[in-house]
Structure 1
């Protein structure tokens, strides 16, 4: 079957933005076009493909099965075309770039070490890092805006259709600042509900592990809480409050070593940290370099050689 030459670049761009935003109104804002123009473009594309791509309701626009199938190929094709145009425009070739989605579980230790090794081996390489919740990063990977996503994400429904490779297991732990009053309470965790708690955002993969830690030790968390994926914010808030932080162990490993934070002796068994790729996305040389570095550091982690 030949590709219908009436399918234009604008059709694909509009389709991808609506899929990304889940709303025609938000897609219009991003694309800076009117809603009638966007609706007309989508109808043209659906007519050319002879398939309904979105289910529209008051809550927004969700992909149909046909839309999900088309998304797997539309995103990478648009991204490849953009890269090709950028590499030739004005006769100036773009620098080699790898676009990496990073979850909070790995931004403190794994990723900095990987970037150091990549730059040692490839001086002209630019590493573009995007952070955020797993659902957002995986959606960007699906449409070709990212080359790889790294972190805990196996429980995310957004991982369906993507490829996950395990690197190592990492636990969650309860930590407080070094002079926290709970440290002078011999019975341990019975009074933890009296203090504010720092948790990952609700609905994220890492939050499920945090919640399981409370269940495991029979703790009722305080209603006073800070919910965030920001490691920097969590660390700073802990130092200026009496909060208890349910943290990825790697995020606080150095703080524990320096004595700035103290573990309360409670850990969750551990979740899978790994890398996620899009099987229909062409693997660029830069992305392959990044995969190799991630595997290398992951193996050293498992063998106790890093950090």
Structure 2
């Protein structure tokens, strides 16, 4: 039988008091029971831990050596118990967040992560840019815990979404385009344009619907940075979130509002419906507060 925690506690109490009666009182056991525990520990360790006489108790050399390790072991166990309690409350752990660039441009990702880190400083948060259509699969595979995307996005069973930011779509066009002379662009004015489409194509499709034309898509490069790069080269336009215009300036690109009722855009936080990780659940609760 190995030395157990009860043996260590008894040893440390006697070492602290160098008196069996006082140590027994501290532990809430009878002195004979404490003596038995120490004798059992010495037998299991194969060493003598104390010099004992009728008048004194002192640590042996072996006892001195064992003492420092025993103190460290108990402190380590105490830290382990504390960390377990923190993890149970969601105050310790790791969260991996996937995001599309427009979630960064909107500021919603930064505001939530900064606030959560201030409240839960022991939770490690990793972030990585993802392809929006892969968000659901990444969640279900456990490669990320939360995703920030722009709906509509198809989700697998077991994934839920919550809107965390509302925005509207506008038009990005070349600075030398004749349309740049207008302060507001009607959907019908875009009927003869060629479109560069970001990951979220719903804005483009809605503008085309309102203008009663079929959008001529010449490129769908993926990220909003790629989309703006295409627009800056001239000849093409793009329908992008308004938040992009508020924080990204690209030479050769102008932004214009779309006339009429706003073409809505949103950022949604996507997560597993039956989440088990306490830290992730704490983040979801914080983001929804």
TM-score, structure 2 normalization:
0.55
1:278 correspondence with 2:272? yes
Do the aligned residues in 2 keep the contact of 1:198 with 1:234 (CA within 8 Å)? yes
Residue deviations 1:99-157 (CA, integer Å, cap 9, x gap): 1121344132222333333444455554322333443111111122221122234551x
Return structure 1 stretches of 4+ with deviation > 4 angstroms.
Answer: 119-125, 185-191
1:176 correspondence with 2:169? no
- CA distance in structure 1 between the aligned counterparts of 2:208 and 2:262, rounded to whole angstroms: 9
Following superposition, the deviation at residue 188 of structure 1 comes to 5.6
Matching residue of 1:111: 109
Rg larger in structure: 2
Of 195, 198, 201, which residue of structure 2 is paired with 1:200? 198
1:222 correspondence with 2:216? yes
Where structure 2 has 5 or more consecutive residues not aligned to the other structure, the ranges are 1-82, 84-91
Matching residue of 2:224: 231
Of 237, 241, 247, which residue of structure 2 is paired with 1:244? 237
Of 251, 258, 261, which residue of structure 1 is paired with 2:254? 261
Following superposition, the deviation at residue 235 of structure 1 comes to 2.3
Do the aligned residues in 2 keep the contact of 1:164 with 1:275 (CA within 8 Å)? yes
- CA distance in structure 2 between the aligned counterparts of 1:97 and 1:184, rounded to whole angstroms: 50
Do the aligned residues in 2 keep the contact of 1:131 with 1:137 (CA within 8 Å)? no
- More displaced 10-residue stretch of structure 1: 245-254 or 174-183: 174-183
Call closer, same or farther: CA 1:265–1:127 in 2, change over 3 Å: same
Matched residue SS, 2:215: coil
Call closer, same or farther: CA 1:115–1:249 in 2, change over 3 Å: same
Following superposition, the deviation at residue 263 of structure 1 comes to 0.9
- CA distance in structure 1 between the aligned counterparts of 2:287 and 2:121, rounded to whole angstroms: 18
| Matched pairs, number | 195
- CA distance in structure 2 between the aligned counterparts of 1:161 and 1:125, rounded to whole angstroms: 25
Do the aligned residues in 2 keep the contact of 1:166 with 1:275 (CA within 8 Å)? yes
Do the aligned residues in 2 keep the contact of 1:104 with 1:229 (CA within 8 Å)? no
Call closer, same or farther: CA 1:244–1:160 in 2, change over 3 Å: same
Following superposition, the deviation at residue 246 of structure 1 comes to 1.0
Residue deviations 1:259-282 (CA, integer Å, cap 9, x gap): 963214246531443222212331
Matched residue SS, 1:171: strand
Call closer, same or farther: CA 1:181–1:116 in 2, change over 3 Å: farther
Q: What pairs up with 1:39-188 in 2 under 5 angstroms?
A: 96-109=93-106, 110-123=108-121, 125-156=123-154, 158-184=155-181
Call closer, same or farther: CA 1:190–1:281 in 2, change over 3 Å: closer
Call closer, same or farther: CA 1:178–1:241 in 2, change over 3 Å: closer
